[in-house]
């Protein structure tokens, strides 16, 4: 069944501008899936009948997804993932692929450095980097309990442990300990989460006006103020994103249908000409703002990639949107021989269904210099 779920989520047609080949593949896959589903359903019915005598499952019992432990994990030795998802033409899509519950949180050798920075930011930036509305309190508690008692000690047993009586959570890397019961102040809970993992976390709840951001801890925003998203609905959250209207409705539908245990991942990228992870303005160019071509300092120019996940929380049904941020020096991209490919991707920002992305991502400023460097 896992294989089936994977194919289905991967081929979800969020946008219809992928060209005829995509549709052929999609059509082929859908037909195959229909057949498969029929066969599987038959099997499922049989199984159902043979299970009739068994006691009914209590529907209030929440099934926690199983997590595969990384028994030998050494965070210091873990290299950062190199995400190189460049396409020659930029189309705005959700382009999600299915993700296993085990892969929710990624840890690597930058862990301790990133955590130190996050602790400072949570102190100095306070409400800018974490907050919760009354509607979000139960979901913050649920997320806290899930990460601290289920996910982290199961996935990374060499880093996180529970005390024998399961009342305390120990972070063996930082030496910190926390009660496993969520603090009653949601901001305190978010602060603990924000200094235990380096993923930025947003919780969204469905409302008659669409999904609304009800809580967040976000230390690494890429040119926007995270606190401005608190209490906002999806359209307002993305108000400055060009062509967002093309994917807005599918995103809402997608969020509504997201199933527990069947999370998804996607990534996006931009270029920045500084090394800051915390950036509440800059990176993007707003409508009306002036911008000109600029020279770049090669050793201060990075590809910034967000590895994003979407997960449904089982009890409160909130959607967790999380992302991990990577900064790759453009020198590294070029050294890998991907210079020309990435330059094409930069120019491709203007060529797809969201040409405003070129300006929005700031390519007006750095585009030419970066492409010249990458191709030289």
Binding region for ligand NAG (CB under 6 A): 123, 126-127, 222-224, 241, 268-270, 304, 306
Q: Which two tokens stand for residue 22?
A: 């995509």
**Tokens 């094409």 — which residue?**
344
Could you report how far apart the first and last alpha carbons of the chain are, in Å?
49
Q: Which is nearer to ligand NAG, 135 or 241 (CB)?
A: 241
Minimum distance from residue 192 beta carbon to ligand NAG (Å) = 14
Report DSSP letters for 46-112, one per residue: HHHHHTTTSPPPPTTSPPPPP----TT--GGG-PPP------SS-------EE--GGGSS---TTHH
> 3-state class of 222 per DSSP?
strand
Minimum distance from residue 175 beta carbon to ligand NAG (Å) = 21
Minimum distance from residue 217 beta carbon to ligand NAG (Å) = 13
CB 186 within 8 A of CB 140: yes
Minimum distance from residue 95 beta carbon to ligand NAG (Å) = 12
Sequence-ordered strand ranges (E) for 95-243: 97-98, 130-132, 160-162, 168-171, 177-179, 200-207, 210-217
Q: Which is nearer to ligand NAG, 138 or 306 (CB)?
A: 306
Q: Which is nearer to ligand NAG, 178 or 229 (CB)?
A: 229
Alpha carbons 114 and 107: distance in angstroms, whole number: 10
Q: Which is nearer to ligand NAG, 91 or 155 (CB)?
A: 91
Nearest residue to ligand NAG by CB is: 270
Q: Which is nearer to ligand NAG, 191 or 334 (CB)?
A: 191
Minimum distance from residue 233 beta carbon to ligand NAG (Å) = 15
Alpha carbons 297 and 303: distance in angstroms, whole number: 13
Report DSSP letters for 291-353, one per residue: -------GGG-EEEEEEEEEEE-TTT-PEEEEEEEEEEEHHHHHHTT-HHHHHHHHHGGGTSS
Nearest residue to 329 via CA among 376, 370, 284, 282: 370
Minimum distance from residue 212 beta carbon to ligand NAG (Å) = 17
Alpha carbons 130 and 186: distance in angstroms, whole number: 10
Bridge partners (DSSP) listed for residue 327:
304
Q: Which is nearer to ligand NAG, 187 or 205 (CB)?
A: 187
Counting beta carbons within 10 angstroms of the beta carbon of residue 263, is it exposed (0 to 12), middle (13 to 18) or buried (19 or more)?
A: buried
Minimum distance from residue 269 beta carbon to ligand NAG (Å) = 6
Minimum distance from residue 173 beta carbon to ligand NAG (Å) = 23
Side by side, which strands form the sheet with 168-171? 160-162, 168-171, 177-179
Q: Which is nearer to ligand NAG, 8 or 119 (CB)?
A: 119
Q: Which is nearer to ligand NAG, 220 or 373 (CB)?
A: 220
Q: Which is nearer to ligand NAG, 338 or 363 (CB)?
A: 363
Minimum distance from residue 126 beta carbon to ligand NAG (Å) = 4
């Amino acid at each position: 069944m896992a294989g089936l779920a994977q194919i289905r989520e991967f081929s979800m047609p969020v946008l219809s501008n992928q060209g005829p080949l995509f549709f052929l593949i999609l059509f082929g896959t859908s037909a195959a899936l229909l057949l498969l589903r029929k066969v599987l359903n038959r099997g499922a019915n049989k199984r159902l009948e043979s299970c009739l005598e068994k006691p009914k499952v209590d529907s209030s019992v929440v099934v926690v997804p199983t997590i595969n432990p990384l028994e030998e994990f050494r965070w210091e030795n873990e290299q950062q993932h190199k995400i190189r998802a460049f396409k020659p033409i930029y189309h705005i899509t959700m382009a999600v692929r299915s993700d296993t519950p085990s892969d929710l949180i990624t840890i690597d050798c930058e862990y301790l450095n990133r955590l130190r920075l996050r602790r400072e930011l949570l102190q100095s930036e306070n409400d800018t980097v974490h907050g919760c509305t009354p509607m979000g309190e139960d979901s913050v508690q649920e997320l806290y309990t899930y990460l601290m008692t289920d996910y982290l000690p199961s996935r990374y047993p060499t880093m996180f442990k529970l005390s024998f009586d399961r009342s305390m959570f120990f972070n063996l890397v930082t030496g910190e300990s926390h009660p496993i019961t969520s603090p009653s102040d949601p901001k305190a809970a978010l602060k603990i989460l924000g200094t235990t993992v380096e993923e930025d976390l947003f919780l969204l709840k469905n409302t008659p006006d669409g999904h609304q951001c009800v809580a967040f801890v976000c230390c690494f925003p890429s040119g926007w103020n995270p606190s401005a998203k608190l209490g906002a609905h999806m359209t307002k959250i993305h108000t400055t994103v060009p062509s967002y209207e093309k994917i807005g409705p599918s995103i809402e539908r997608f969020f509504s249908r997201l199933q527990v245990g069947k999370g998804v991942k996607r990534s996006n990228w931009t270029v920045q000409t500084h090394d800051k992870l915390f950036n509440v303005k800059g990176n993007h160019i707003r409508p009306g703002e002036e911008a000109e071509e600029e020279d770049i300092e090669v050793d201060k120019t990075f590809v910034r990639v967000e590895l994003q996940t979407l997960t449904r929380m089982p009890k409160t049904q909130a959607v967790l949107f999380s992302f991990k941020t990577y900064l790759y020096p453009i020198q590294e991209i070029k050294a890998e021989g991907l210079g020309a490919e990435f330059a094409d991707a930069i120019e491709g920002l203007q060529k797809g269904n969201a040409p405003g992305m070129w300006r929005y991502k700031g390519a007006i400023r750095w585009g030419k210099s970066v492409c010249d460097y990458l191709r030289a």
